[in-house]
């Protein structure tokens, strides 16, 4: 999120009106609903985690143990179990979206 000086983008009358409520303070203006993005979409984190989780599931079904996978991916065994459970649950719903 970048900082923008209101004097550079807003009309003077609107600035005076806003100052009645938040004079001299930083104000966050949320994005319009149609412009918002889901967590991790903008920087690719969501895709990287989905790819990682698919690799984990694939390696699990190829014979790697939960303990081995935890060490490989620096995750707890509980999290590895959760990823595998999410995959198995998603087989019934037709998707595998994680994190």
pLDDT of residue 1: 65
In tens digits, the chain (99 residues) has pLDDT values of 678 899 999 999 999 999 999 998 888 888 787 777 777 777 889 899 999 999 999 999 999 999 999 999 999 999 999 999 999 998 766 666 544
pLDDT of residue 10: 94
The token pair at 67 is 């303990």
Is residue 89 located within the same domain as residue 49?
A: yes
Is residue 88 located within the same domain as residue 50?
A: yes
- Number of folded domains that form the chain: 2
Going by the DSSP 8-state scheme, the letter that residue 30 receives in this structure is: P
Is residue 59 located within the same domain as residue 27?
A: no
CA atoms within 13 A on the CB side of 13: 0
In a domain, 98, yes or no: no
For 15-26, give one letter per residue: b (16+ CB within 10 A) or e.
Answer: eeeeeeeeeeee
**Domain limits at 84?**
45-93
The stretches of the chain forming alpha helices (DSSP H) are 6-9, 12-22, 45-61, 66-73, 77-93
């Amino acid at each position: 999120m970048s900082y923008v000086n209101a004097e550079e983008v807003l009309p003077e009358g609107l600035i005076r009106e806003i100052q009645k409520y938040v004079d001299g303070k930083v104000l966050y203006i949320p994005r319009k609903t149609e412009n918002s993005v889901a967590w991790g979409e903008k920087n690719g984190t969501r895709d990287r985690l989905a790819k990682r989780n698919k690799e984990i599931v694939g390696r699990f079904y190829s014979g790697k143990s939960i303990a081995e996978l935890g060490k490989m991916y620096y995750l707890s065994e509980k999290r590895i179990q959760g990823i595998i459970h999410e995959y198995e649950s998603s087989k019934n719903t037709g998707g595998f979206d994680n994190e």
